[in-house]
Amino acid sequence: MRGMEDGMGATAGRADGCVGPRAAAPPRPGRAVVRLHAGDDVVVAVADLAAGTVVETEAGPTPLPHAIPAGHKIAFRARATGEAIHRYGQVIGFASAPIRPGEHVHVHNLARGEVHQDYQVGRDVRPVVPYAPEAMRYFEGFARPDGRAGTRNYLAIVSTVNCAAHVARMAAERFRGVRGIDGVFAMTHRGGCGAIANGDDHRILERVLSGYARHPNVAGYVVLGLGCEVNQPATLVQRGRLASAFHPAAPPPVVEIQRAGGTRAAVEATVEAVASLLPRAAEARRTRQPVSKLVLATKCGGSDGYSGITANPALGWAVDELVRYGATAVLGETTEIYGAEQLLVARAASPEVARKLLDRIAWWRHHLQLHGADVDHNPSPGNVAGGISSVLEKSLGGAAKGGTTPLVSVVEYAEPIAGPGLVFMDTPGYDPVSVTGMVAGGANLVAFTTGRGSVFGCKPVPSAKLASNSALFRNMPEDMDVDCGGVLDGASIEETGRAILEELLAIASGKRTKSEELGFGEDEFAPWTPGPTL
């Protein structure tokens, strides 16, 4: 949102249709509704509004004919059937029935329709003004031999196939409460066999497992397999360029259950291998690292009508700051930027970047059609209850997480993230699958915005929860890390974004997130499997 206005007030920022947090002004305290852009046909309820509440519309002071839930939309101007409805200065759907000023605008009278986007490659590219070297900020992280920096220090048990999952968990359990490192976690999943050898699912799984094994938050790892699976340990080691964490010229420890003599023997062999890595892993110490070594994965889940007003644009402000320090930020969820892709195309650093993004969207539309699905299967029931009426509206609010800097590259799922700057990774929208891909690509920090509430965690990377509204922050205090709801009470996007940035730097330096305190992170490891199971 480059502009935000309250009721009939003047809009801050230019009205060129761009979504971005920089110029957004907060709602004024005491206002019942907020209007985000001069061209918007709707306003958004700041709180639950009773029938009869008077709000400003194009028709003047207008009593609400019905009660409006918090975060839901109210018609600012009349819309005839078939007319476009705008929010964020962009089309979020079309009126499926006549709508009068003051009426509730939601799924009962708004349909997605077909939007013909005007793709203007690079129109909104603005050079990033980097901070001077002497202004660089730092965090306390773990220096790794390849030049990257870890925000945590784990050992991992990499299971090649689901058949090895229970053995991996049994071995990891033996190290519960281990001292000197952040922990030992088991990378278990449902794949590894029943897939086409060297097909898409197999290759994606290899990329994910290799990316986690070589991750800067992982000091060392053991590869654990069954022995007869499609995803063979030896092939993974070779193609994933996996090596011993402390002896790069040697292969990593590998345990195969069949060769070891069964479950208990394989557990003991895995425990022994992990124990041999512990002393060296425990020697690692946090040292001063430049912020430019951060790779931030951004994610939204359980979004509501406030997500695109508060948490997402505030996170976008923090992303812009990190990019100015030379860091990298990652935006994903291809199925949830549909309807906002024109804004990213306008920020593409080159025609090649724009084309790759549009190619991925085209792939997804074809992929969904093959399965009798469409992007209209978004938003989720929880999103709808929170006030989001269409995938277009959800996407436009979600895209604000990416800030305003140029889109420098587009990478496929779990591919290495090539920064610095803003990068887009092709991922599904589903939280654990999306974040798993970004972490495999090298993200060492996760910022997760939510309006309905999420309990997501992601070992070995800390995941900070950003609440879009204060009611959620109060309702789920053991799960939320930052309250962004102050924007609705008059706090600025910059002020809230700076609070997010400071919290992220503290977390990168070792402060535990709420999800870490609760032990989340292993069950959320979920590599994407787009292909058939044989």
| Structure confidence at residue 11 as a pLDDT band (50, 70, 90) | very low
> If you write DSSP's letter for every residue of 58-111 in order, what string do you get?
TTEEEE-SS-B-TT-EEESS-B-TT-EEEETTEEEEEESS-B-TT-EESTTTEE
| Helices 311-324 & 493-508 angle (0-180, nearest 10) | 60
What whole-number distance in Å separates Cα of residue 463 and Cα of residue 481? Answer: 9
Do 275 and 303 fall into the same domain? Answer: no
Cα angle 354-360-362, degrees, rounded to a multiple of 5: 100
H or E stretch including 42? strand 42-45
Residue 144 lies inside a defined structural domain of this protein? no
pLDDT tens-digit map of 179-200: 999 999 999 999 999 999 999 9
Q: Residue 258 and residue 480: Cα distance in Å, rounded? A: 44
> 282-298 burial string, b = 16+ CB within 10 Å, else e?
eebebeebbbbbbbbbb
CATH number of the domain encompassing residue 16 = 2.30.130.110
- What's the pLDDT tens digit per position in 391-415? 999 999 999 999 999 999 999 999 9
CATH number, domain at 278? 3.40.50
Question: Could you tell me which of 407, 370, 532, 459 has the C-alpha nearest to residue 185?
Answer: 459
Distance between CA 263 and CA 316 in Å, rounded?
Answer: 48
Q: Does residue 23 fall inside a structural domain?
A: yes
Regarding whether 305 and 411 lie in a shared domain, the answer is: yes
Q: Coil, helix or strand for 428?
A: coil
Tell me the pLDDT tens digit for each residue of 298-314: 999 999 999 999 999 99
Has residue 224 been placed in a domain?
Answer: yes
Stretch 71-93: mean pLDDT: 96
**155/185 Cα distance (integer angstroms):** 7
Distance between the two ends of the chain, CA-based, in angstroms?
Answer: 46
**Same structural domain for residues 205 and 330?**
no
Q: 455 and 329 in one domain?
A: yes
pLDDT in tens, 55-65: 999 999 999 99
Domain membership of residue 472 (yes or no) is yes
pLDDT at 30: 57
Write down the pLDDT at residue 197. 94
Residue type, 428: P
Query: Do both 292 and 382 map to the same domain?
Result: yes
Query: How far apart are the C-alpha atoms of 467 and 451, rounded to whole Å?
Result: 6
Q: What is the pLDDT of residue 7?
A: 38
- What confidence score (pLDDT) does residue 27 get? 53
Residue 386: C-alpha distances to residues 45, 306, 520 (Å): 11, 8, 25
pLDDT of residue 33: 93
CB 375 within 8 A of CB 151: no
pLDDT reading at 432 higher than 60: yes
Q: Report helix angle 431-440 to 200-213, nearest 10.
A: 60
pLDDT of 246 strictly over 90: no
Q: Mean pLDDT in the chain?
A: 92
φ/ψ of 515, rounded to 5, equals: -70, -35
What total of structural domains would you count in the chain? 3
Rounded percentage of the chain residues whose pLDDT exceeds 70: 94
> 408 and 339: one domain?
yes
Considering 243, 266, 282, which residue would you say is the last residue of a domain?
282
Are 316 and 413 within one domain? yes
pLDDT mean over 52-77: 96
Rounded Cα distance, 453 and 72, in Å: 17
Task: Single out the residue in 116, 136, 163 at which a domain terminates.
Answer: 116
Q: H or E stretch including 316?
A: helix 311-324
Residues 240 and 324 in one domain: no
Are 440 and 463 in contact, with CB atoms under 8 Å apart? no
Average pLDDT over every residue of 465-489: 97
- Token pair recorded at residue 289: 């690292």
User: Cα separation of 375 and 93, whole Å?
Assistant: 13
Select from 113, 349, 360, 158 the least CA-distant residue to 252: 158
User: 3-state DSSP: the chain helix, strand, coil percent, rounded to 5?
Assistant: 30, 20, 50
pLDDT, one tens digit per residue, over 513-531 is 999 999 999 999 999 999 9
Helix (H) or strand (E) holding 506: helix 493-508
| Residue 225 sits in the same domain as residue 296 | no
Q: How far is CA 58 from CA 35, 77, 79, 262, 431, in A?
A: 12, 5, 12, 73, 39
Q: What pLDDT is attached to residue 247? A: 86
Beta-carbon neighbour count of residue 194 at 10 Å?
Answer: 15
**Strand, helix or coil at 384?**
helix
pLDDT class for 375, splitting at 50, 70, 90? confident
Cβ(182)–Cβ(156) below 8 Å: no
Give the domain extent around 317. Answer: 288-517
Q: Are residues 407 and 493 in the same domain?
A: yes
Q: What is the 3-state secondary structure (H, E, C) of 146-193?
A: CCCEECCCEEEEEECCHHHHHHHHHHHHCCCCCCCCCEEEEECCCCCC
Rounded (10°) angle between helices 311-324 and 391-399: 40
Is the peptide bond preceding residue 313 cis, with omega within 30 degrees of 0? no
What pLDDT was estimated at residue 200?
94
24-39 mean pLDDT:
73
Same domain, 190 and 218: yes
Tokens at residue 427, please? 């991922």
Question: Quick one: pLDDT at residue 1?
Answer: 31
Question: Which pLDDT score, from 0 to 100, does residue 456 have?
Answer: 95
If asked whether residues 93 and 213 sit together in one domain, one would say: no
